[in-house]
Amino acid sequence: MIQHDNGSFEGQVIDERTEISIIQLCRICSVESTLVERLVEEGIIEPTRHEDDTLYFPPSVLKRTRVVMNLRSDLGVNLAGAALALELLDRIEKLQAKLSRA
């Protein structure tokens, strides 16, 4: 995967093996690193840590971060409420998958 200096993945496909740094996450989602750290503390997104203690994230955090930002800006939901909403959305998705398989 080619990473450009601005932290984006311009013109590249991001798959589940791609790891996104905290800097890239901030740039892609237009959020501050302090908010990303709060999302980690609330358990909304889960990083992986490397030897140098740098935070990296799977691509799935992009969607979760954007959902949180939309909940906050559109509905005024706080982080705890956003965490609950995401948990419920995850459960709904799992139930829908089970129904599709049945």
CATH number of the CATH domain containing 57: 1.10.1660.10
> Is 13 inside a domain boundary?
no
> Is 4 inside a domain boundary?
no
**Tally of CB atoms within 10 A around 64:** 21
> Is 96 inside a domain boundary?
yes
Structural domain containing residue 91: 20-101
62-88 pLDDT tens trace: 999 999 999 999 999 999 999 999 999
Instruction: Output the pLDDT for position 52.
Output: 79
> Is 82 inside a domain boundary?
yes
d(CA 54, CA 47): 9
| Total structural domains within the chain | 1
> Is 59 inside a domain boundary?
yes
